[in-house]
Each structure stands twice: as structure tokens, then as C-alpha cells.
Chains A and B, each alone.
Chain A
Amino acid sequence: MALQAYPDVPLFRYPYTDLRHAQIAAKLAVAARVGPAGKSLDNNLSGKVLSFAGDNGGKLSWTFGAGNRVTFAGKEAGYGSLDLDHLTLFAHIVPGTTTAYAVAWDRLSSAATVFELWFGGGPAPRARELNRDVHFGTMAGLDHATKEPHRRTLRLEGRAFQWQEDTGNRTIEYYPSSTYSHWVELDRLKDYRGYSAPTDYVQLTEEVYAVARIEAEFSGLLQMYLTDVNRLQQVGLRFGFNGADALEFYMFRGTGEWLGQIARFEKLGDFSADPLPIPNGKKGERRVYRPLATMDKMTREEVDAVVAKGVHVFDRPSPMAGNGTAPSGALAGKKFAIEYDGGPRMEYRFTGPDTLQWSINGGDVVPARYNAWEMMPGAFIFGHLLEGTPNHDGHIVVVDLQNGMATNYHGYLNTPYFANEAGCETLFGRVVGQGIPDPGRKRHERTRDMLGRAFTWEYSPGLNSMHLYSTPWTTSWIIPTPDGHFATEWCGSGDFVKIRDQLYFGRWQEEACNGTLGTVLINMRTMHDAGIGYHCGKQGGLSMSAVGAPSRHAGKFDVERFFPKREGR
């Protein structure tokens, strides 16, 4: 694959170059001398000496000369600075090193936050992924003492903004967590996907925050900015290597649009903002989810072998359904066919509450185990494996027997990237059987009713998450801490189908991340769901298991206008 600065494949599929430390040092050399690019840099610090005294005793000093020259640690570099009212953001690379600094300085209070940035040497596992450490303190030698030190914050948790830089780039930034953020690039990336990355949130004033996201697991780039959420303005820095391994080192101004606020779930009055500390952590260490590293990666032969040993279809308790909806036996005794548009005709005879017989396109009749849940009267979700199919298919189907429509999240293995990673296609069809109305050409349809919504899910005691449906094609999930901070976040491809009013069939794919196809039939009247997970791994083999939890509607962001309509099914 030719290198692409902003890939036309999902970022989790793009083979980012494993840049060596020496390569990075060479690429930084010129930028260190010249300083960051930018359309409207202020660079107005000439003559100032800023001495930072960190809360932890660390001391740093910058001496600013004419033009954009700054001397730091005895080395002269090019800097860039941008003012946001009485706050200044300045940044530079330390010449001859792979270290850089981005500093947020409140000129009124003298409070300062220093983002120490470095490539290589860890804790990030690859040199191209930027490391950071955040230091709070004051700029000494100034007349005024700080009364309001900068500090980590959860005050941004639950908000979302659309930011447009003076580069023209537009990004939707969701802050559903106090340690991660989720972003959707609307211009440089073409497929309107959301991605998640570890993020620092620092409160600088009542209205201004520093947000710093490092695109871990992907390019490793830093996107950081000071944001005045009241005036909807930002000044920022982008620093790191894009997909073409080109250094991006520029500062920008931006304007924003408030997109909404979802609920936070900390106890009222809890403003603590560092929910995942690492005792005795290394410099710059934090909890970063690296799903590709922990994912089973199996070949087609390994998948076939593990399936041959036996499959697990609703045969063991699922922690993902400890609080799930009770299965229904109401399909037992029924017989119908589902004719999928452009897909197969499936004949079903439900021989019991958890046994059925299926045949595809008039072929052999095959017995299978299934589970079903009736989420509204006459509307069922059920799932079964298609034993003997080359890709070990699974059908996860919602049938509405009151109107004769069906939707199938057809899962399959042997996808091009990892054989055990589930692929999925969405099939729409009609149900044909005695007493079942003929819907004619009417079908379930994709919906945007879920777009921008967030739901919490309480699967089992201690096992909870929140979904954020951030784009029409993305499902994100965020993990809470026991005290209600939402923290680690990840995401995958999603799809959303309306079954009835307040009844929605959604899915997510854990691509390059455990490989699961997860599905949920969400009843917004009962605020409970029933779903099915389809997964293949070395440990548990091929399985179908229950997913289900009571839900809370955390809110809805107003984002629909940013996403184009895609025609067809």
C-alpha cells in the first residue's frame, strides 16, 4: 500500500511505518530550528524570560529572543505562540533531541501547564507514538501569584463540539470520558468514522480548558488545544507524523460549535478528575487500551480447527447478560421462511424453545441451537450458527411477526485481516409464514434515530459500559470506573436499523480488537435490550452468547447534519 497522510482505509487497517528513533530525530531537526508553522502565529514573547516552577519541584526556563527565537536548556530553537485572550500557548522542539514542549500560560494568574512531549524511549510501545507528561505549576518571577492553579478536570466530560481550524479542517470532538476522547475528522479522512484516543483534560480557567489527544494505536500524532468553551474559540498545536510519515508541526486557531452535553455519572459533588492513576507509574505512563496487541490473531486453518473441536451456542452463562432480558420460548412450534433481498431464503422450523431447524435456499435441513428474546410483542431477536458453512456463519435476526419484516446481521469469519475477526453484512427481508402479514416491498430501514445518542449498559455487577453512537457508521463504547467516571474508550463499525418506534437493532464490530460482532435490540420503552455476541478466539472457540442489560439514556448530541446520506441498503 502506498503511504497516505490520511488513509482511505480505516485507521486500524493502515500499516503505519514503525519509525526508528534516528529517523524521527532526523525529521525533527529542521522543524526544531524553524519552529511550528501556522497561519496567524502571535510570536509575541520577545524579551521575556519565563521560569516555570512545577508543583513537583521541576524547573524549566525559556528565554525568548527576537522573531520566533527561544533559548531552552542552552539551545536555540524556533517557537510558535498563539494567544487566547489572557492565555498563551507556545510550543517548540528542543534542538538535537526528540523532545518538545507545549506550554499553556495564564498571563494574569501566572499559572502554567507544561506538556512535555517526546518520541521514543517509552512508555509508548512505538517511537512514532508521542509520549507526554503533564506538569502543573507557575511561571515564577512575575508580580502576580496564582490563586487558581491549573488542574485536571472532568468538567468537559459529556460535552461535544465541532471545531474548525484555520487550516480548514473540521473535527467533531466528543468528550464522553475523563481520560479518552472520540473524534471524527470531517475533511482529511473520507469515511466519517469515529476513533478513540487517550486524552488529557486540564482546566485553565472557568471557561478555558486544555485538551490533548494522542492518537495512540494509529499515527501517534498529538492534537492539543486551549479551548474557550464559552466563546467557542481555540488555539492549538498538531505535532507528530502522519500516515505518509511526514512531520506535522503547526499551530492553528479555530472556532467551535457546541453540539450538546450528555449526562455524567459521578456522584454529585465529585469533581475528582484522575480516575485511573497508576501507582508508581513511569514518567508519562497512563492506561492506554491497545486492543490489537491483546487480540487473538488466528489463521483460517486455526479457525477451522477450533470450530471442529465444538462450538458454544448459548451454552454457558455470559457476563455480558447477567442482567439481561430473559430468553423467550415463544417461537417454539412456529414455522416460517425469511426471504432476504439479494440474499438467501432461510426456512425455519422452531422445534423447541432453544432448538430449530434451518435450511438455506431449499438445501439440507440442519438442526441448530438458538436463543430468542421477545422485546416487544411479536418482535423477536434470535441467533444461530450455520454449521457447515465455509466461513462459519452466524445469523442474528430480528423478525417482526406483526408486520412480516426481518433484518439479519449476518456474521461470518475468514475476513481478509484476521480469520477469527467477525465480518458482517446487514440483510433486509420479509417473513413468509402462516398468519404473518406480507409487508410487500416494505422493509426495516436504517435509521439515524440513534445517531449522537449515548446509553449506559449494566451487564452484570461491576461490568458496565456506555455506548456512544457517534456517526451513522460507528459504535463507540466507554468503560466507567466504580465511582462513575467514564474512562477507557474504543470503537468499531456500527449499523442501526429501526424495527418499530422506540425499538432499534444496532451492532458493532470489534475490528482489530477482539474480533467480536456484537448486536443489540434496544427497547427504549423498557430501557432494556437483548442482543447476541458472535465471537471466535483461541480460548473459547466459536461462540454465540447473550448480551443484555438495563440501560440509561445519557443524552443525544446534535450531529446529524455533519454526515452525508448514503443511498441503498
Chain B
Amino acid sequence: MSKASTDRRSFLKTGAIVAAPFVALGPATAVADDGSKTRLVRLEDEKAIQALHRDVVRQVNRRERNLAEGLTGLADDPAHELQIAFAEDGKRATCRRACMASFRTDFIGTTTLEQMHRLQGQGMHRHDEPRVLVAEYVKGEDGWAIESLRLV
């Protein structure tokens, strides 16, 4: 499981998170205070999830993680923002991110069409598709971790 540091010190060092483009959905974590603690925890959670998301994208692009057959790269779609929906208890979150997914297909099969494509020098094909990376995260004692990832 991938993990990200969510301690307060790391958050405060990079306190610009408030400007990050995300939309937080769902109720705030149930913490009894005047609201500032709740907001701080939420910001901390969001920052941790963003870090995890960036890790996932990096891992895919380094081919360390495979989310789909032939996937060679992921790039966040700048026209969309990261969407995070927290569970009631604040211990789970669903994250959706519009991406451009790059695929490579090698036509190495024995079908006649693949053979003829190879003859034409077209034994490999690259293409991009708009997809959505859907991630489920859970918050444990060590912070947030990835539960599942899907490219839809």
C-alpha cells in the first residue's frame, strides 16, 4: 500500500494547499470544536490524498503501476479539478480525476490483419483517451492509503 505523511508539521511546511484546485464533497469530519480544527484536518486530508494521487500518476508514468492493458502514461486533465468525496466518518474518500491516458498496443498476434499491419510498418499503435482515474482511499493509523484504483 502506498502511504503519505499526514503529520501537521509536513502540512505547515507547505501551507499553500489552500490554493490547490480541488473540490471537497461530503460532510466534514466529526471533530467537536469551533470549526477551525475540522477545517485544518480536512485540508490535511486533502493534501495527503493529492500527494497520493500524484504518486499514482508518477508510478504509472514510470511503469511501476499498471492500471490498464497497454497503459503507458497518465496526465491530469488541466480542464478538470480533483474531486474528493469524504465518507461521513472522514476515514474513507473517493477521488475522481479526469486524465488523458496514453496507450500502446503491439500487434504481435497471428491474425491476418495484425500480420498485414506489421507488413506496413504498423506493428505498434499509440493513442490517447480521456479517462477518469477513480481512487478509493482509507485513513488508518499511519495516514491515508490507497484501497483501490480504477481507470474508467
Closest Cβ of chain B to A345, distance in Å, is 34
Say if the beta carbon of A320 comes within 8 Å of chain B: yes
**B121/A319 in contact, CB under 8 A:** no
Say if the beta carbon of A462 comes within 8 Å of chain B: yes
Chain B residue with the shortest CB-CB distance to A320: B111
Say if the beta carbon of B62 comes within 8 Å of chain A: no
Say if the beta carbon of B122 comes within 8 Å of chain A: yes
B126: chain A residues at CB < 8 Å are 462
B window 106-152: CB within 8 A of A: 107, 109-117, 119-122, 124-127
Say if the beta carbon of A294 comes within 8 Å of chain B: yes
Say if the beta carbon of A106 comes within 8 Å of chain B: no
**B103/A463 in contact, CB under 8 A:** no
B124: chain A residues at CB < 8 Å are 462
12 more contacts with CB within 8 A, not counting A465-B113, A482-B125, are A289-B116, A291-B112, A291-B115, A294-B115, A319-B105, A320-B113, A463-B107, A481-B120, A487-B120, A510-B112, A514-B115, A540-B110
Chain B residue with the shortest CB-CB distance to A460: B105
**A539/B111 in contact, CB under 8 A:** no
B window 70-107: CB within 8 A of A: 103, 105, 107
Closest Cβ of chain A to B127, distance in Å, is 5
**B125/A462 in contact, CB under 8 A:** yes
**A319/B109 in contact, CB under 8 A:** yes
A539: chain B residues at CB < 8 Å are 110
Q: Which of A276, A289, A490, A514 contacts B111 (CB 8 A)?
A: A514
Q: Which of A287, A461, A513 contacts B119 (CB 8 A)?
A: A287
B120: chain A residues at CB < 8 Å are 276, 287, 479, 481, 487-488
Known interface pairs A320-B111, A540-B110; A482-B116 also in contact (CB < 8 Å)? no
**B125/A461 in contact, CB under 8 A:** yes
B111: chain A residues at CB < 8 Å are 319-320, 514, 516, 533, 535
Known interface pairs A462-B125, A463-B125; A479-B116 also in contact (CB < 8 Å)? yes
Please give me the 8 A-B residue pairs with the lowest Cβ-Cβ distance, nearest first.
A462-B125, A514-B112, A461-B127, A479-B116, A488-B116, A539-B110, A537-B110, A287-B119
Question: A187 vs B125: C-alpha distance in the bound complex, in angstroms?
Answer: 43
* Proximity bits, A451-477, B CB within 8 Å = 1, else 0: 000000001111101000000000001
Chain A residue with the shortest CB-CB distance to B121: A276
Chain B residue with the shortest CB-CB distance to A279: B121
B window 42-74: CB within 8 A of A: 69
A533: chain B residues at CB < 8 Å are 111
Chain A residue with the shortest CB-CB distance to B111: A320
Question: A533 vs B114: C-alpha distance in the bound complex, in angstroms?
Answer: 14
Chain B residue with the shortest CB-CB distance to A290: B119
Closest Cβ of chain B to A157, distance in Å, is 16
**B112/A513 in contact, CB under 8 A:** yes
**B117/A479 in contact, CB under 8 A:** yes
Q: Which residues of B contact A (CB under 8 A)?
A: 69, 103, 105, 107, 109-117, 119-122, 124-127
Question: A233 vs B115: C-alpha distance in the bound complex, in angstroms?
Answer: 38
Q: Which of B103, B113, B119, B127 has the most CB of A within 10 A?
A: B113
Closest Cβ of chain B to A319, distance in Å, is 6
19 contacts between A and B (CB under 8 A): A287-B120, A289-B119, A319-B111, A320-B111, A459-B113, A460-B105, A462-B105, A462-B122, A463-B114, A463-B117, A463-B125, A479-B113, A479-B120, A482-B122, A488-B120, A490-B112, A514-B111, A533-B111, A535-B111
Chain A residue with the shortest CB-CB distance to B69: A317
A510: chain B residues at CB < 8 Å are 112
* Proximity bits, A48-82, B CB within 8 Å = 1, else 0: 00000000000000000000000000000000000
* Proximity bits, A3-19, B CB within 8 Å = 1, else 0: 00000000000000000
A487: chain B residues at CB < 8 Å are 120
Known interface pairs A319-B114, A320-B111, A516-B112; A488-B119 also in contact (CB < 8 Å)? yes
**B113/A461 in contact, CB under 8 A:** no
* Proximity bits, A477-496, B CB within 8 Å = 1, else 0: 10101100001101000000
Chain B residue with the shortest CB-CB distance to A461: B127
Chain A residue with the shortest CB-CB distance to B128: A461
* Proximity bits, A525-569, B CB within 8 Å = 1, else 0: 000000001010101100000000000000000000000000000
**A462/B113 in contact, CB under 8 A:** no
Question: A477 vs B113: C-alpha distance in the bound complex, in angstroms?
Answer: 9
A289: chain B residues at CB < 8 Å are 116, 119
Question: A465 vs B109: C-alpha distance in the bound complex, in angstroms?
Answer: 16
Question: A537 vs B105: C-alpha distance in the bound complex, in angstroms?
Answer: 22
Question: A319 vs B114: C-alpha distance in the bound complex, in angstroms?
Answer: 9
B125: chain A residues at CB < 8 Å are 461-463, 482
Question: A540 vs B115: C-alpha distance in the bound complex, in angstroms?
Answer: 15
Closest Cβ of chain A to B66, distance in Å, is 15
**B107/A481 in contact, CB under 8 A:** no
A479: chain B residues at CB < 8 Å are 113, 116-117, 120, 122
Closest Cβ of chain B to A556, distance in Å, is 23
Question: A537 vs B110: C-alpha distance in the bound complex, in angstroms?
Answer: 8
A287: chain B residues at CB < 8 Å are 119-121
Chain B residue with the shortest CB-CB distance to A514: B112
Chain B residue with the shortest CB-CB distance to A277: B121
Closest Cβ of chain A to B4, distance in Å, is 34
Question: A173 vs B50: C-alpha distance in the bound complex, in angstroms?
Answer: 62
Known interface pairs A276-B120, A276-B121; A319-B107 also in contact (CB < 8 Å)? yes
Question: A479 vs B113: C-alpha distance in the bound complex, in angstroms?
Answer: 8
A459: chain B residues at CB < 8 Å are 113
Question: A122 vs B107: C-alpha distance in the bound complex, in angstroms?
Answer: 28
Q: Which of B105, B116, B127 contacts A490 (CB 8 A)?
A: B116
**B113/A463 in contact, CB under 8 A:** yes
Closest Cβ of chain B to A393, distance in Å, is 21
Closest Cβ of chain B to A179, distance in Å, is 9
**A462/B115 in contact, CB under 8 A:** no
Closest Cβ of chain A to B152, distance in Å, is 16
Q: Which of B107, B109, B120 has the most CB of A within 10 A?
A: B120
B109: chain A residues at CB < 8 Å are 319
Closest Cβ of chain A to B142, distance in Å, is 38
A276: chain B residues at CB < 8 Å are 120-121
Q: Which of B110, B112, B120, B121 has the most CB of A within 10 A?
A: B112
**A461/B116 in contact, CB under 8 A:** no
Q: Which of A317, A481, A490, A537 contacts B122 (CB 8 A)?
A: A481
